Amino acid sequence: MNAPARPPFAGRPGALRLGFGLKPGMRVGLYGGSFDPAHGGHGHVARTALQRLDLDRVLWLVSPGNPLKPSGSSQSLERRKLDAARQARGPAMVVSDAERRLGSRYTLDTVRLLKARFPGVGFVWIMGADNLAGFHRWRGWTRILAEIPLAVISRPGFMAKSLFSPMARRFAHARLPAGAARRLAKAQLPAWIYLTAPLDPASSTALRVCA
Protein backbone atom coordinates (compact mmCIF):
# COMPACT_ATOMS: atom_id res chain seq x y z
CA MET A 1 0.00 0.00 0.00
CA ASN A 2 1.27 3.45 -0.88
CA ALA A 3 1.95 5.84 1.99
CA PRO A 4 -0.52 8.74 2.25
CA ALA A 5 0.59 11.90 0.49
CA ARG A 6 2.30 14.44 2.68
CA PRO A 7 0.10 17.54 3.13
CA PRO A 8 1.28 20.71 1.38
CA PHE A 9 3.21 23.23 3.44
CA ALA A 10 0.25 25.59 3.72
CA GLY A 11 -1.84 22.77 5.17
CA ARG A 12 0.50 21.84 7.99
CA PRO A 13 -0.60 23.25 11.37
CA GLY A 14 2.96 24.22 12.32
CA ALA A 15 3.49 26.08 9.07
CA LEU A 16 0.45 28.26 9.79
CA ARG A 17 1.98 29.58 13.02
CA LEU A 18 5.48 30.84 12.50
CA GLY A 19 5.46 32.98 15.62
CA PHE A 20 6.00 36.29 13.83
CA GLY A 21 4.26 38.55 11.35
CA LEU A 22 5.73 40.70 8.60
CA LYS A 23 4.12 43.49 6.61
CA PRO A 24 4.65 44.44 2.94
CA GLY A 25 7.33 47.07 2.57
CA MET A 26 9.41 45.85 5.51
CA ARG A 27 13.11 45.09 5.10
CA VAL A 28 13.92 41.83 6.83
CA GLY A 29 17.21 40.05 7.30
CA LEU A 30 17.20 36.24 7.41
CA TYR A 31 20.05 35.02 9.59
CA GLY A 32 20.17 31.24 9.46
CA GLY A 33 22.45 28.82 11.26
CA SER A 34 22.87 26.08 13.81
CA PHE A 35 23.88 28.57 16.55
CA ASP A 36 25.60 25.71 18.35
CA PRO A 37 26.06 27.62 20.55
CA ALA A 38 25.16 31.22 19.71
CA HIS A 39 27.90 33.64 20.79
CA GLY A 40 28.98 37.25 20.61
CA GLY A 41 30.20 36.85 17.04
CA HIS A 42 26.67 35.95 15.94
CA GLY A 43 25.30 38.95 17.77
CA HIS A 44 27.90 41.16 16.11
CA VAL A 45 26.89 39.96 12.63
CA ALA A 46 23.17 40.47 13.34
CA ARG A 47 23.61 43.95 14.83
CA THR A 48 25.90 45.07 12.02
CA ALA A 49 23.38 43.92 9.41
CA LEU A 50 20.45 45.52 11.24
CA GLN A 51 22.15 48.90 11.39
CA ARG A 52 24.05 49.03 8.11
CA LEU A 53 21.23 47.59 5.96
CA ASP A 54 18.55 49.69 7.68
CA LEU A 55 16.45 46.61 8.43
CA ASP A 56 13.14 46.48 10.27
CA ARG A 57 13.75 42.96 11.56
CA VAL A 58 16.44 40.31 11.76
CA LEU A 59 15.01 36.79 11.93
CA TRP A 60 17.39 34.34 13.57
CA LEU A 61 16.40 31.10 11.83
CA VAL A 62 17.69 28.40 14.17
CA SER A 63 18.11 25.34 11.98
CA PRO A 64 16.78 21.93 13.07
CA GLY A 65 20.07 20.54 11.70
CA ASN A 66 22.85 21.71 9.42
CA PRO A 67 23.08 19.41 6.34
CA LEU A 68 26.83 20.10 6.16
CA LYS A 69 27.52 18.99 9.74
CA PRO A 70 27.48 15.46 11.18
CA SER A 71 24.14 14.44 12.62
CA GLY A 72 23.95 14.40 16.39
CA SER A 73 26.59 17.12 16.80
CA SER A 74 24.15 19.79 17.96
CA GLN A 75 22.42 20.64 21.20
CA SER A 76 18.63 20.41 21.11
CA LEU A 77 16.76 22.94 19.02
CA GLU A 78 15.19 24.47 22.12
CA ARG A 79 18.58 24.85 23.82
CA ARG A 80 20.02 26.54 20.73
CA LYS A 81 17.02 28.88 20.51
CA LEU A 82 17.63 29.93 24.11
CA ASP A 83 21.31 30.55 23.36
CA ALA A 84 20.36 32.64 20.32
CA ALA A 85 17.82 34.63 22.34
CA ARG A 86 20.59 35.70 24.73
CA GLN A 87 22.46 37.28 21.82
CA ALA A 88 19.46 38.59 19.87
CA ARG A 89 18.84 41.70 21.93
CA GLY A 90 16.18 44.29 21.15
CA PRO A 91 12.68 44.25 19.63
CA ALA A 92 13.99 44.12 16.05
CA MET A 93 15.64 40.73 16.70
CA VAL A 94 13.36 37.68 16.43
CA VAL A 95 14.51 34.13 17.19
CA SER A 96 12.50 31.53 15.28
CA ASP A 97 12.28 27.83 14.51
CA ALA A 98 10.45 28.62 11.26
CA GLU A 99 12.45 26.02 9.32
CA ARG A 100 11.18 23.26 11.60
CA ARG A 101 7.62 24.54 11.30
CA LEU A 102 7.86 24.80 7.51
CA GLY A 103 9.56 21.45 7.15
CA SER A 104 12.48 23.09 5.38
CA ARG A 105 16.08 21.91 5.68
CA TYR A 106 17.81 23.93 2.97
CA THR A 107 18.27 27.68 2.63
CA LEU A 108 16.91 27.77 -0.92
CA ASP A 109 13.65 26.17 0.20
CA THR A 110 13.37 28.39 3.27
CA VAL A 111 13.82 31.56 1.24
CA ARG A 112 11.24 30.54 -1.35
CA LEU A 113 8.68 29.59 1.31
CA LEU A 114 9.08 32.84 3.26
CA LYS A 115 8.88 34.95 0.09
CA ALA A 116 5.64 33.18 -0.84
CA ARG A 117 4.26 33.60 2.68
CA PHE A 118 5.15 37.31 2.93
CA PRO A 119 4.85 38.96 -0.50
CA GLY A 120 6.04 42.54 -0.62
CA VAL A 121 8.70 42.05 2.07
CA GLY A 122 12.27 42.86 1.06
CA PHE A 123 14.34 39.94 2.34
CA VAL A 124 18.13 39.83 2.67
CA TRP A 125 20.13 36.73 3.60
CA ILE A 126 22.73 37.53 6.28
CA MET A 127 25.91 35.53 6.82
CA GLY A 128 29.33 35.90 8.34
CA ALA A 129 32.34 35.86 6.03
CA ASP A 130 33.30 32.43 7.41
CA ASN A 131 30.15 31.00 5.81
CA LEU A 132 30.77 32.70 2.48
CA ALA A 133 34.05 30.79 2.20
CA GLY A 134 32.06 27.55 1.97
CA PHE A 135 28.90 28.89 0.35
CA HIS A 136 29.52 26.92 -2.86
CA ARG A 137 28.84 23.74 -0.87
CA TRP A 138 25.28 24.81 -0.09
CA ARG A 139 22.52 23.06 -2.01
CA GLY A 140 21.43 25.18 -4.99
CA TRP A 141 23.86 27.95 -4.09
CA THR A 142 23.69 29.71 -7.47
CA ARG A 143 19.90 29.66 -7.34
CA ILE A 144 19.93 31.27 -3.90
CA LEU A 145 21.49 34.34 -5.51
CA ALA A 146 18.56 34.43 -7.94
CA GLU A 147 16.09 34.50 -5.04
CA ILE A 148 17.56 36.87 -2.45
CA PRO A 149 20.41 39.38 -2.02
CA LEU A 150 23.24 38.43 0.34
CA ALA A 151 24.85 40.57 3.03
CA VAL A 152 28.23 39.23 4.11
CA ILE A 153 29.65 40.59 7.37
CA SER A 154 33.39 40.41 8.01
CA ARG A 155 34.69 37.79 10.47
CA PRO A 156 38.22 37.44 11.89
CA GLY A 157 40.63 35.58 9.61
CA PHE A 158 38.19 35.03 6.74
CA MET A 159 38.48 38.11 4.52
CA ALA A 160 40.82 36.52 1.96
CA LYS A 161 39.07 33.13 1.99
CA SER A 162 35.65 34.71 1.54
CA LEU A 163 36.52 37.32 -1.09
CA PHE A 164 38.38 34.73 -3.19
CA SER A 165 35.81 31.98 -2.66
CA PRO A 166 34.04 30.32 -5.62
CA MET A 167 30.89 32.31 -4.90
CA ALA A 168 32.68 35.67 -4.70
CA ARG A 169 34.56 35.00 -7.94
CA ARG A 170 31.55 33.70 -9.86
CA PHE A 171 29.34 36.60 -8.78
CA ALA A 172 31.99 39.33 -8.75
CA HIS A 173 29.88 41.32 -11.20
CA ALA A 174 26.98 41.33 -8.72
CA ARG A 175 28.90 42.74 -5.75
CA LEU A 176 27.65 46.16 -4.67
CA PRO A 177 29.75 48.80 -2.89
CA ALA A 178 29.38 49.15 0.86
CA GLY A 179 27.68 52.50 0.33
CA ALA A 180 24.72 50.70 -1.27
CA ALA A 181 23.92 48.74 1.90
CA ARG A 182 20.63 50.51 2.62
CA ARG A 183 19.39 49.69 -0.87
CA LEU A 184 20.33 46.01 -0.81
CA ALA A 185 16.88 44.68 0.16
CA LYS A 186 15.43 46.16 -3.03
CA ALA A 187 18.40 45.54 -5.33
CA GLN A 188 18.07 43.81 -8.68
CA LEU A 189 19.21 40.21 -8.41
CA PRO A 190 21.79 38.80 -8.22
CA ALA A 191 23.29 41.17 -5.67
CA TRP A 192 25.55 40.87 -2.64
CA ILE A 193 27.59 43.13 -0.44
CA TYR A 194 30.58 42.72 1.88
CA LEU A 195 30.55 44.87 5.01
CA THR A 196 33.50 45.37 7.33
CA ALA A 197 33.04 46.24 11.00
CA PRO A 198 34.94 45.90 14.29
CA LEU A 199 35.54 42.17 14.62
CA ASP A 200 34.38 39.77 17.34
CA PRO A 201 36.65 36.70 17.49
CA ALA A 202 34.13 34.32 19.12
CA SER A 203 33.62 30.94 17.45
CA SER A 204 31.01 28.23 18.04
CA THR A 205 33.60 25.54 17.34
CA ALA A 206 35.98 26.94 19.95
CA LEU A 207 33.18 27.25 22.49
CA ARG A 208 32.14 23.62 21.99
CA VAL A 209 35.74 22.45 22.45
CA CYS A 210 36.05 24.42 25.68
CA ALA A 211 32.67 23.32 27.06
Mean pLDDT calculated for residue range 152-163: 84
The Cα 21–Cα 125 span in angstroms is 18
Burial (CB count within 10 angstroms: exposed 0-12, middle 13-18, buried 19+), residue 53: buried
Mean pLDDT calculated for residue range 115-124: 97
- Please confirm whether the linkage preceding 8 is cis (ω < 30° from 0): no
Give the pLDDT confidence of 13-59 residue by residue, as tens digits: 455 689 899 999 999 999 999 999 999 999 999 999 999 999 999 99
What pLDDT does residue 155 have? 79
**Strand 122-128 and strand 93-96: pairing?**
unpaired
What pLDDT does residue 154 have? 92
Give the pLDDT confidence of 64-83 residue by residue, as tens digits: 876 656 655 568 999 999 99
The Cα 97–Cα 21 span in angstroms is 14
- Please confirm whether the linkage preceding 190 is cis (ω < 30° from 0): yes
The Cα 97–Cα 34 span in angstroms is 11
The Cα 147–Cα 137 span in angstroms is 17
